[in-house]
Structure 1
Amino acid sequence: MTTYLKIIAPLFVSFTLLSCIQEDKGVAQKPNIIYIMSDDHTTQAFGIYGSRLAGLNPTPNLDKLANEGMIFDNAFVNNSICVPSRAAIITGQRAQTNGVLDLEGAIAPEKQFLPIEMQKLGYQTAIVGKWHLHEEPAAFDYYTVLPAQGKYFDPEFRVRGEKSWPNNIIKTEGHSSDKIMDITLDYLKNKRDPEKPFFLMHHFKAPHDDFEYAPRYEDYLANTFIPEPESLYEIGQHGSEATRGKNDSLTRTIGSSVSHRNLIRNQAMNIYWNDSTIYKKYRNARDIDPKEYVKWEMDSIEREYTSKVYQDYLKKYLRCVKGVDDNVKRLVDYLETEGLLENTIIMYTGDQGFMLGEHDYIDKRWMYDESMRMPFFVRYPEKIKAKSRTNAIINNTDFAPTMIELAGGKTPDYMQGKSFKTILETGIEPDNWQNATYYRYWMHLAHRHQNPAHFGIRTKEHKLIFYYGKYWVDTDDPNATWNKESWGNDFANHTPPAWEFYDLTKDPKEMNNAYKDPKYQETIADLKNQLVQMRESLNETDKNYPHIQKVIDEHWDD
């Protein structure tokens, strides 16, 4: 017996040690996940999306990273505004389910589902940069986040500490894109447990307006002519009475513009407040005949002035993008030097798209593609083929389920998004995959951008939008309340309800609203049926907003 124990004991110890080593190795091999998101970085400002700006090579480092993985051509936001987009990403839920309709919405720690689920899977979790969901990001193990929008220069950050949120503040010096990356690199080098996989959300402030770039980029593109969209000067048949008014009566107030067109908010106003005799002449001309303005807008002097504003606008924006691109290279270089790159899943996106002068619009909020399309790509050589691309439709509620499943988990039942892990790994869109996405912008005529509230459906071939043009409260009720921070306050400006339909196969730039075209009536009817079904299945109806539902019912068959 003693001889037997002498033989078997060492074998048992060896087997136990081997099992532990294999278990440790298994944990070590679990992929790290880094989710990088910039603010308002739109697909037009990439090389990989082939826009008019691609020839400028604005994102060489991001393009390289994207080409080492899978690029998504049909990634869409549910609501093209910062807080609702971020809420959808962190919860995997739509607006009426997670409760965030506008910029004042907040996500409490118990509803910060993505880091909670990642922790269950053995991940240490961290978030650095822009947060903007108001409550403390306490579900993360580590956080260093900007207060609200934060500052471009010498930003302050809120951190976990002895004082209660939000009173623990650290101050930094420099540009936000650099400082946010400094903090991320410090976390990776010094703050994390190297024995555990990490899930890191790195959020740039840039290139959110007003596009304050680091001084080292002052000469970048200085002598370059930036290609301009044709729709900056030509309206065509884009839009509807909801966005243009009857006989173009709303063109001077709806949709913040590059040119002087919008008298309430325009980029010319931001840059050259008193520099133009034209602006001085027309800035208070609210009663100018819209038709006369359209003639004036096409005047060579106004075109020259608009082009000057546009060039300045885009150069500032692209210099912010350049700072993001260069800082991503810093991260990739670190991961490669430390031997972490190949076992780290890297996702990159913007929190929504952005209008870069298309249809003479700035900002986002619209359901037009430049605003609702998100750049999105994923790199993970072990499972994702390099130089792969997909046109499968995904939206930002799908991000959390996908990251959870890539980490080895299962999508929770309470999430409305769907994992596209299979698409990443096979390049094949499943037979039952979604063929459309739903969009909803709630903040009617808010923040002087003057975008009417609307919702709609987007498939690979078509887009249908309904502008309901009413507030979400009964404004005839003296006791009615509304969110004055995020919603317009001028009750007189109930814009007219209207539909827009675009055939994206023939009209990808959305220049021709074909809603009244007889040849599309069957397609439009089908899209309306799909829209009803989606609103029901996603808990996105207006049953709690009867005044909106009344408008919908009255104008559904217009």
Structure 2
Amino acid sequence: MNRRNFNLLTSAAGISAIARNTLAGKSRQPNLLVIHTDEHSFRTLGCYRELMSEDQAFVWGKGNCVETPHIDRIADEGAICDRYYCSSPVCTPSRASLITGLHPQATGAPKNGLHLRQDIPTFATILRDQGYATSYVGKWHLEGNGKYLFDLKYNAGFDDNRFMMDGGHAPFFHVRDGKIVKGGLGDKSVSKLPQEEVVHMTDFFTDRTLEILERDKGKPFCHMLSIPDPHTPDYARPPYHTLFDHMDLQPPKTMAPEYTAVKPAWASKSSKDDHNEAADFDAAALRQYFGMVKHIDDSVGRILKFLDDNGLAENTIVVFTADHGDMFFEHNRRNKGVPYEASAKIPFVIRWPKKIKAGKIIRKAYTNVDFAPTTLALMNVKTDAPFHGLDTAADFLGPQQEVVDDRITYFAKNGGWWVAAVDNRYKLVLDKTEKPWLIDLEKDPDELVNFYTDPAYADTAKRLQDELFKQMKKFEEPGLENNRPYVL
């Protein structure tokens, strides 16, 4: 059956699950596999370090890093985006945007603890209706503040959501006879259980992913694995917990008092909800973080091997990304919730051997609002869904080895008390109380200097500011009306 007839048939309203499965078995549509992590610093990935100067690649001391060959392989055999941002550097709003292609204010979930609207399409509902077997494993965080809860009522188009977990980051599950007895266990609880009944969440969700891929490998599938690590509490399971004990980790340059004393207001505020806070340097926590990243990379390696062994690699689009970053002591901050690169910029690498040129570098600003429309376009899936994001599939499918584009897009603090416009070099941050900040990421990658009032940057500031207000108005950004940003 050719793609044209497939699309005509599957676009019919009310198509049954049986009919969808029949069509799926005969289709040559590409598969989609999204591997998604939580609170993940792009600096921990080798493929990103290769794009940076030495001082930026090793902010915690020269040579101190995690080797990530499997995630790097996705970039080497596909494309890497060096200016990919989350729609808001907090879990729930970012995840809502990735799923829907909308800015957080339109999803029903602009803050942590809120519920994704059930009346809007997601990339999963669209692919499901095109005949795909859709499944989701791991942290969801789009149905309230529950922890270690399964059997969620709304699956957002992921038909198999048995292992969709509402939230939580404690590292272990108690599992008996293949079923979860209790989730969210720490060391003390685990020490009282038989070893064979204890499973780390990263392993548990990776195992479930491999089982589902084995089941669905004969038909087009859309699967998302959302690993709760490397989010706090910064605990790596053995043997990963000691892999980096030998490293003499150093505080980042931007943690020094001469820099933290002149931070803008938006970089000084703390939020319990967002878990962004000032903290003393903790090398032990960072070593555990490195261990979690290594564990994740090994898990990615297991999945890539499955694709290779089953002849699925050529026709499967593999994406590795995250919901937001982690400051990990840059600018004397922990976690996220601020517009600095370490918080708001996220890893995004993608591989599709049939279509995406190997080793491609894309130097263009995106947010994960662009994910749904772009990915569906890559897959040649037509939809009338009203996305805020752009279809940027041509950037990935084109013959260029390097894509350079000064497109402007924006992301915002949930609730709208700051907004940030970005292109492939500059970042403009507007706050409701703080004077505007213009950052030149090429000249000042540490984000320490405000160029907004520099006459040499007047045209750049105006270009970003005009486009930012245009987009805020178009997408009804709450901060435009409720907490109008301060401008000079």
Q: 1:544 to 1:507 in 2, by over 3 A?
A: closer
Q: TM-score by structure 2 length? A: 0.80
Q: Which residue in 2 is equivalent to 1:52? A: 58
Q: Which residue in 2 is equivalent to 1:362? A: 334
The answer as to whether partners of 2:34 and 2:318 remain within 8 angstroms in 1 is yes
Q: 1:497 to 1:138 in 2, by over 3 A?
A: closer
Out of 516, 522, 534, the residue aligned to residue 471 of structure 2 is 534
SS of match in other structure, 2:47: coil
Shift of 1:124: 0.9
The answer as to whether partners of 1:32 and 1:197 remain within 8 angstroms in 2 is yes
SS of match in other structure, 1:331: helix
The answer as to whether partners of 2:91 and 2:112 remain within 8 angstroms in 1 is yes
Shift of 1:207: 0.2
Q: 1:265 to 1:119 in 2, by over 3 A?
A: closer
Distance 1:429 1:333 in 2: 26
The answer as to whether partners of 2:173 and 2:181 remain within 8 angstroms in 1 is no
SS of match in other structure, 1:341: coil
Out of 169, 173, 178, the residue aligned to residue 154 of structure 1 is 173
| Paired letter, 1:72 | C
Aligned pairs for 1:154-193 within 5 A: 154=173, 173-190=198-215, 192=216
Out of 164, 167, 171, the residue aligned to residue 145 of structure 1 is 164
Q: Which residue in 2 is equivalent to 1:92? A: 101
Task: Kindly provide the CA deviation profile for residues 117-149 of structure 1, in whole angstroms up to 9, marking residues without a partner as x.
Answer: 001221110000011100632521101122322
Structure 2, unaligned runs of 5 or more: 1-21, 50-56, 144-152, 184-196
Q: Larger radius of gyration, structure 1 or 2?
A: 1
Q: Which residue in 2 is equivalent to 1:107? A: 116
Out of 300, 321, 325, the residue aligned to residue 328 of structure 1 is 300
SS of match in other structure, 1:314: helix
Aligned pairs for 1:447-526 within 5 A: 453-468=417-432, 496-526=433-463
Distance 1:25 1:103 in 2: 36
Out of 410, 413, 417, the residue aligned to residue 389 of structure 2 is 417
Shift of 1:59: 1.2
Distance 2:402 2:230 in 1: 35
Shift of 1:406: 2.4
| Structure holding more strand per residue | 2
Task: Kindly provide the CA deviation profile for residues 271-309 of structure 1, in whole angstroms up to 9, marking residues without a partner as x.
Answer: xxxxxxxxxxxxxxxxxxxxxxxxxxxxxxxxxxx4xx2
Aligned pairs for 1:73-92 within 5 A: 73-92=82-101
The answer as to whether partners of 1:456 and 1:463 remain within 8 angstroms in 2 is yes
Shift of 1:518: 3.6
Structure 1, unaligned runs of 5 or more: 1-22, 162-167, 245-250, 257-261, 269-305, 445-452, 469-495
Out of 68, 72, 75, the residue aligned to residue 81 of structure 2 is 72
Between stretches 103-112 and 126-135, larger displacement belongs to 103-112
| Paired letter, 1:176 | M
Shift of 1:176: 0.6
Shift of 1:509: 1.4
Task: Kindly provide the CA deviation profile for residues 184-232 of structure 1, in whole angstroms up to 9, marking residues without a partner as x.
Answer: 1111224x3x442000011100000111211221320111123542112
Shift of 1:367: 0.8
Q: 1:83 to 1:24 in 2, by over 3 A?
A: closer
Distance 1:429 1:366 in 2: 32
Task: Kindly provide the CA deviation profile for residues 51-108 of structure 1, in whole angstroms up to 9, marking residues without a partner as x.
Answer: 1169434312211222111111111111000000000011110122223221022114
The answer as to whether partners of 1:239 and 1:500 remain within 8 angstroms in 2 is no
SS of match in other structure, 2:167: coil
Aligned length: 431
Q: 1:121 to 1:75 in 2, by over 3 A?
A: same
Shift of 1:373: 0.8
Distance 1:386 1:520 in 2: 36
Distance 2:466 2:295 in 1: 45
Distance 1:412 1:434 in 2: 27
Shift of 1:525: 2.8
Q: 1:185 to 1:241 in 2, by over 3 A?
A: closer
Distance 1:173 1:504 in 2: 45
Q: 1:432 to 1:516 in 2, by over 3 A?
A: closer
The answer as to whether partners of 1:238 and 1:512 remain within 8 angstroms in 2 is no
Distance 1:436 1:361 in 2: 27
Q: TM-score by structure 1 length? A: 0.71
Shift of 1:355: 0.7
